[in-house]
Amino acid sequence: MAPPLVLASASPRRRELLAQIGRIPAEILPADADETERPGETPRALAARLALLKAQAVAASRPDALVLGADTVVACGRRMLPKTDDPAEARRHLNLLSGRRHRVIGGICLIAPGQKPRVRVSETILTFKRLTDREIDAYLATGEWRGCAGGYALQGRAAVFARFLSGSFSNVIGLDLHMTEALLAGAGA
């Protein structure tokens, strides 16, 4: 019998994505991790490090479980766009992404009992259409951007902004399901 799955994330989107593939966590234990980027740290390195930190923080108290940690970083060039709860910051992010290509990098870490952490990174390329001030105003009024890296939630009304997507759609929502399932299956779950 496989150990219980513990999700080291407070993200309701990650919970929903796992449920979509029939992987219901036995527990949800959000990890408290400092998400500050280090000087010179790349978006890929940040996503991987944060996923590992979150998984390790929870695995320390649940060594009998499969602990899944994840983090999402939105990057435009080398500039990283953090999660935001500030409408002015979300507006700046959307203005920056307007008409441009950017990357959504998802770090995933699985720690199985008695095994070394397995870390994977998923990268999805997105291009937004040119956004008008009116479109940005209307989107900000929805509030669905709150707490989202880059200031948008592609599973909601921001879906109309995406002109091009290459890679995992579920990664943009919060968790690359293909990679996650492969990690879980590889751990015997």
CATH number at residue 121: 3.90.950.10
Domain that holds residue 79: 5-186
Q: Which pLDDT value is given to residue 7?
A: 97
What would the pLDDT profile of 80-130 be if each residue is shown by its tens digit? 998 999 999 999 999 999 999 999 999 999 999 999 999 999 999 999 999
Residue 71 among the catalytic residues: yes
Token pair listed for 86: 């500030």
Q: Which of 34, 64, 71, 86 is catalytic?
A: 71
Give the closest residue to 55 by CA, choosing from 141, 188, 183: 183
Directed axis angle between helix 12-20 and helix 177-186, to 10°?
A: 70
What would the pLDDT profile of 8-40 be if each residue is shown by its tens digit? 998 889 999 999 999 999 999 998 888 888 999
Q: How many domains does the chain have?
A: 1
